[in-house]
Homo-oligomer: A and B are copies of this chain.
């Protein structure tokens, strides 16, 4: 089955909003073995939208359309879809009641144009919206399925999980089962040279390389009728990859570095504490992104000023004059200080220049020192992110990533 995604929204065309809805939907289509060949972003323009819907109906079995279900005059998705499919618009009484009670609950008068949201194409099914007023719509007509979802991710995601996932589960005739092999220290083209016959000849599973923040990820994907069958189909190709690059394998099907960290430290019953300067809390944020991180993380210090580095972490203040705040010595003192303060098994210290200002000739923007304190002592690495990363945001992210990689390497 082929599905395509159409995201309706001028804010996407203007670059105001990142299209996370397409990613969210595509990921689930992939899990259910439904091919996704096209994603299109288009504005609230009736002629272009209708032409797009007709083209999509001509080439895909399922169209998932997001956005344009709001109450305002430029929200036209439902009406255009109904027109393209020759369906009348009718009032859905359950949706009308739900919208009226939504306003009643929040003690606000319902503007008349919100009633438009209760209109749906005749013969379609309204999908309840528990986080907003606009209902979703599911239309099945002549072997084609058209699904309309609200644009705000907060409304779209729960509706997709509640109403669309069970529908997809019924529709699928097979699933795509993937195994991911993570490789570091070899370039994409070397990997392809070494694996070219496997990659070209194998059709089920297929093998494809992707650049990944830590190197290259090879995705081995089989079409199968069950998870078990899929992994069995993948096994031979995965083995060939593991044998071809024995020294460069990071892992198979591993999660993000922060997920791996929480998993591994939980297993060991150990804790980590962080002391951040240039990353400003990003490392602590990434670790605590993981549910269950409270078992391994008690404390993170964001010591942005020198005074706070000394006062909170006990960094010797003479270091700021002698070697500077961005130095191996200060990173070490931060790591050791926070480890002691939090009584943790590991302490991480990060100090550097995120930019765009603050760089010097000796220490240009992107210079970062990261120290890892363990019971056995301290290791410190110096990184120069400036020549590979353009802006403050990516230098900070790269530094947090390097810190996670440093502890990951140590735990291996």
By the criterion CB–CB under 8 Å, are B392 and A291 in contact?
A: yes
Interface readout for A318-345 with B: 1 if CB under 8 Å, 0 if not? Answer: 0000000000000000000000011000
Question: A131: which of B11, B114, B282, B388 is its contact (CB, 8 Å)?
Answer: B388
By the criterion CB–CB under 8 Å, are A394 and B154 in contact?
A: yes
Query: A12-B26, A294-B304 are contacts. A189–B113 as well, Cβ < 8 Å?
Result: yes
Query: A26-B14, A187-B108, A189-B114 are contacts. A74–B208 as well, Cβ < 8 Å?
Result: yes
Task: For chain A, give the interface size range.
Answer: 35 or more
Question: A209: which of B38, B72, B187, B280 is its contact (CB, 8 Å)?
Answer: B72
- Chain A, range 8-52, C-beta contacts under 8 Å to B: 10-20, 22-30, 36-43, 45, 48
Residues of B within 8 A of A299 (CB): 301-305, 308, 312
Residues of B within 8 A of A18 (CB): 18-20, 23
Query: A24-B15, A302-B302 are contacts. A192–B72 as well, Cβ < 8 Å?
Result: yes
Residues of B within 8 A of A396 (CB): 289
By the criterion CB–CB under 8 Å, are A390 and B154 in contact?
A: yes
Residues of B within 8 A of A189 (CB): 70-72, 111, 113-114
Write the chain B residue with the least CB distance to A110.
B189
Q: Tell me if A184 counts as interface (CB < 8 A to partner B).
A: no
A30 to B16, CA, bound (A): 10
By the criterion CB–CB under 8 Å, are B30 and A23 in contact?
A: no
Q: Tell me if A98 counts as interface (CB < 8 A to partner B).
A: no
Q: Tell me if A190 counts as interface (CB < 8 A to partner B).
A: yes
By the criterion CB–CB under 8 Å, are A200 and B73 in contact?
A: yes
Write the chain B residue with the least CB distance to A28.
B15
A3 to B317, CA, bound (A): 56
Q: Tell me if A393 counts as interface (CB < 8 A to partner B).
A: yes
Shortest beta-carbon distance, A307 to chain B, in Å?
Answer: 7
Question: A285: which of B30, B42, B280 is its contact (CB, 8 Å)?
Answer: B280
Q: Tell me if A383 counts as interface (CB < 8 A to partner B).
A: no
- Chain A, range 279-317, C-beta contacts under 8 Å to B: 279-285, 287-289, 291-294, 297-305, 307-308, 311-312
Question: A211: which of B152, B211, B281, B312 is its contact (CB, 8 Å)?
Answer: B152
Q: Tell me if A123 counts as interface (CB < 8 A to partner B).
A: no
Residues of B within 8 A of A71 (CB): 188-189, 192
- Chain A, range 68-98, C-beta contacts under 8 Å to B: 70-74
The 5 A-B pairs at the shortest CB distance, nearest first, are namely A280-B288, A15-B27, A281-B284, A15-B26, A281-B281
